[in-house]
Amino acid sequence: MIQIKDLRKSFEELQVLKGVDTTFEKGKTSLIIGQSGSGKTVFMKCLVGLLEPDEGDIFYDDMNFTAMSVRQRTRVRKKMGMLFQGSALFDSLTVEENVIFPLEMFNKNMTKKEKLERAHFCLDRVNILNANHLYPAEISGGMKKRVAIARAIANSPDYLFCDEPNSGLDPQTAIVIDKLISEITKEFNITTVVNTHDMNSVMEIGDHVVFLYKGDLWWEGSSEEILTSQNKEVEDFVYASELMLKLKSQ
């Protein structure tokens, strides 16, 4: 579980986060949504330590991340899985070796066989085990994303952060990836936070949705609730597309 209390961040005169309070539950997929410039990227970066907040606290399972030393933060980071925008796989390594990489780095006590077994388990979980000996250049964008998910869960993380997991994917593949993230979150009881602006993702996997507007936590609730929200800014965001408008009118 991740608790955020009164999180504030400014860049010179510009206040980007104006006191965000929320909680991301274990075993649930939480989505951060909002318009461009709403502060969701800054919020996500503060969560993983990319940026230092000016005020407020972030608790990882009751441990205050903002008050931790560098060494303590490193320990927490080991429990974080990261799904980078654009997959960020190492081109010179095979699919299997990409998944083994974090195991090599973090688990010195695991034998080679154990690492291989773990990598195969993760690849099997994302249904891409048959491509284990291929290189990133030889697989599709959707498959790369699966490999990136497998790599993110290789070290059995407690927290999974996904930055625009659907960027560059076709709608069909995007749904598959979204579902995969949601399934893994529940199956391994992970606290998952997804930064997205894709309403399809919200509808597919949003157990908990946080809507940021001009640096404020404007609205939060479930994916069902967002469709019926009377909040004008939420409505503007959700029904910005013609498709959503048609769905609403039906």
Partner 1 sequence: MILFVKLFRESALFAWGSVVSNKLRTILTLLGITIGIFAIISVFSVVDALERQIRTSISSLGDNVIYVQKWPWEFSSDFAWWKYMNRPTPRPSETDEILRRTQVVEAAVFTASTSRTVEHLNRSIERVSILTASADYDKVRTFGLESGRYFSPTESAAGRNVAIIGSEIASGLFDDADPLGKNIKVFGRNLEVIGVFETEGDDTFGNSHDELVLVPLTYISSFIDVSSDRYNPAILALGRENFSNEELIDELRGTMRSIRSIKPAADDNFALNQTSLLSTQFDGVFAVLKLTGWIIGGFSILVGGFGIANIMFVSVKERTTIIGIQKALGAKNYFILIQFLSEAVLLSLMGGAIGLLLVFTGTWLASSVFGMDVLIQMSNVMLGVNVSVIIGLVAGFIPAWSAAQLNPVDAIRANT
Report residue 69 as tokens: 């030393």
Can residue 175 be called a binding residue for partner 1 (CB under 8 A)? no
Beta strands in 78-158 (DSSP E): 80-83
Q: Any idea what DSSP says for residue 134?
A: S
Can residue 68 be called a binding residue for partner 1 (CB under 8 A)? no
Can residue 114 be called a binding residue for partner 1 (CB under 8 A)? no
Q: With residue 14 as reference, give the H or E element that holds it.
A: strand 14-24
Can residue 92 be called a binding residue for partner 1 (CB under 8 A)? yes
Instruction: Compute the C-alpha angle 191/145/212, nearest 5°.
Output: 50
Nearest distance from C-beta of residue 157 to partner 1, angstroms: 11
Coil vs helix vs strand at 27: coil
Nearest distance from C-beta of residue 101 to partner 1, angstroms: 6
Selected from 48, 95, 162, 212, the binder of partner 1 by CB under 8 A is 48
Can residue 63 be called a binding residue for partner 1 (CB under 8 A)? no
CB neighbourhood size of 172 (10 A):
9
Report residue 16 as tokens: 């980007």
Selected from 59, 101, 121, 239, the binder of partner 1 by CB under 8 A is 101
Nearest distance from C-beta of residue 11 to partner 1, angstroms: 13
Can residue 82 be called a binding residue for partner 1 (CB under 8 A)? yes
How many residues interact with partner 1 (rule CB under 8 A)? 25
Can residue 132 be called a binding residue for partner 1 (CB under 8 A)? no
Can residue 91 be called a binding residue for partner 1 (CB under 8 A)? yes
Per the rule left: phi > 0, alpha: psi between -120 and 50, beta: everything else, 82 is: beta
Beta-carbon contacts of 163 under 8 Å, excluding residues fewer than 6 positions away, are 44, 82, 83, 84, 85, 195
Dist. CA 80–CA 151, nearest whole Å: 11
- Stretches 14-22, 24-32, 102-110, 232-240: which one binds partner 1 (CB under 8 A)? 102-110
Residue 128: CA atoms inside 13 Å, Cβ hemisphere, count?
Answer: 32
Selected from 158, 163, 178, 198, the binder of partner 1 by CB under 8 A is 163
Q: Give the binding site for partner 1 (CB under 8 A).
A: 45, 48-51, 77-78, 82, 84-85, 88, 90-93, 97, 100-102, 104-106, 151, 155, 163
